[in-house]
Amino acid sequence: MKFYEMTAAQRLAQLVEEGAMTAETAAIFAGSGALSADVAASLSENQLGQFSLPLGVARQVPVAGRVVNVPMVTEEPSVVAAASNGARLLRAGAGVQITLPPHTVRAEIVFDGLPDLPAAQALVAAHEALFKQVADDAHPSAVQRGGGLKAQTVAVIADRFLKIGLIIAPGQAMGANLANTIAEAVGQAAGKLLNSRPLTAILTNRDEAIGRATVAVPLGALATGTRTGAEVATGIAALSALAEVDEDRAVTHNKGILNGIEAAVLATGNDTRAVAAAIYAHAGATGRMSPLATWRQTATELVGSIALPLPVGILGGAIRSLPVAQASLALGGFTTVADLQGALLALGLAQNLAALRAQVGPGLQAGHMKLQARNLAISIGATGKEIGQLAAALSSGVMSEAAAQTLLDQMRKEQHS
């Protein structure tokens, strides 16, 4: 039986059998319906309830010589199917190469209204050692693990603001809390020195640590029922070229990539908004919106590359309180931030390739409508086997709530007659 045809329990059993997860991890996924009341209350002020979404898995995503299962949480039915499909295409090549810079987080401390900006800048520059000490004292455990404040800059902006920039190594955490703690402590010390109060002392969500992945897919692997691999590759390369010159298309192209990346970021308990903010800033860094991934056709291959920042962690934040986030990290085998970032880059390539191939090939709506039909069937109360039967009937006819209700009533009558 194919993985996608199994029940959730069968899929978990298979992943345990494959050695992709332990029985303990499988038990966490199996029992992952709701957070405990305490955890739910601790993650939100004014908590009223909980909001459940399905957690799926993109199977066998190739990442730097390994294949990993990437957990994904999303409300869009076609996303996980497309990711698995894209991963299959990526596996047809010689692998996905990953390059990652050191994991860092940056913060800024900014003063406004200082009377003598050049003097203030010189004073700050002369106190690097003091600020380093203050930063280390603010978070000694980060320093013990080899992290903490690594570099400082000071600059005048727009003849008005004095900005102290900090580069911090957060170890295996995303680093927002660490950056804010250090920025506030250094901000206080700098405030004393300058006899002023910082306007702000906080991390920046701009992340200039750009991860990259490249892949070469043999043309033959891209063939669809009606088009050769070379034809499909030509169409994908043309769509990529379009995204490089048409911002309307670039934004949609990137949205498809984020479909995958954000789903895995959420599944692993990371901050989806931080990742989105950093990625959009990068995509628009040249002053116009650029595609995050591009594709070129050679005589034998379709060559893809993706480049984006990924401010994520495998420790700290909500990960600590969310058992399913920890189970997701275990399922992916993500024991370092680099493991997770590599998988996210490969997933982004897979998601983009699947979306572009669908547009060049059969179009998106065929698959999408099938999944929409299932949603409609479920929304009007179909259960168990009725869902598939009703979805099939709806796909070949009118897709409306009234039509679905009539068909379901008919199916139930026939079953009881």
In the complex, which residues of this chain contact ligand MEV (CB under 6 A)?
76, 252-253, 255-256, 259, 355-356, 364
- Residue 352 CB, shortest distance to ligand MEV, in Å, is 7
Q: Which two tokens stand for residue 399?
A: 């897709």
Distances in Å between the alpha carbon of 400 and those of 48, 376, 405? 32, 8, 9
What are the residues whose beta carbons fall under 8 Å from the beta carbon of 28, sequence distance 6 or more? Answer: 323, 324, 326, 327
Which is closer to ligand MEV, CB of 103 or CB of 253? 253
Catalytic-residue membership of 192 = no
- 70-75, long-range: CB < 8 A, 24+ apart: 70/264, 70/332, 70/343, 70/344, 70/347, 71/264, 71/267, 71/268, 71/327, 71/328, 71/331, 71/332, 72/260, 72/263, 72/264, 72/267, 72/347, 73/263, 73/266, 73/267, 74/259, 74/262, 74/263, 74/266
Which is closer to ligand MEV, CB of 192 or CB of 255? 255
- Residue 235 CB, shortest distance to ligand MEV, in Å, is 12
Measured between alpha carbons, how far is 233 from 230 in angstroms, rounded to an integer? Answer: 5
Catalytic-residue membership of 339 = no
Output phi, psi for 275, to 5 deg.
Answer: -65, -45
Query: Shortest Cβ contact with ligand MEV: which residue?
Result: 256
H helical segments located in 110-175: 117-125, 128-138, 140-144
Which is closer to ligand MEV, CB of 127 or CB of 374? 374
Torsion angle, alpha carbons of 97, 102, 105, 109, to 10: -130
Which is closer to ligand MEV, CB of 205 or CB of 352? 352
Output phi, psi for 57, to 5 deg.
Answer: -140, 130
Which is closer to ligand MEV, CB of 186 or CB of 222? 222
Of 108, 271, 301, 339, which is the active-site residue? 271
- Residue 356 CB, shortest distance to ligand MEV, in Å, is 6
Which is closer to ligand MEV, CB of 70 or CB of 293? 293
Catalytic-residue membership of 416 = no
- Residue 358 CB, shortest distance to ligand MEV, in Å, is 7
Which is closer to ligand MEV, CB of 27 or CB of 364? 364
- Residue 73 CB, shortest distance to ligand MEV, in Å, is 15
Q: Which DSSP letter does residue 101 get?
A: P
> Which residue bears the tokens 């009558």?
413
Rg value, the chain, Cα: 25
- Residue 382 CB, shortest distance to ligand MEV, in Å, is 25
Measured between alpha carbons, how far is 82 from 225 in angstroms, rounded to an integer? Answer: 17
Of 112, 255, 401, 409, which is the active-site residue? 255
In this structure, are strands 55-63 and 66-73 parallel, antiparallel, or unpaired? antiparallel
- Residue 253 CB, shortest distance to ligand MEV, in Å, is 5
> Which residue bears the tokens 């002369």?
126
Torsion angle, alpha carbons of 382, 384, 389, 393, to 10: 20
Catalytic-residue membership of 2 = no
Residues tagged active-site: 76, 255, 271, 368
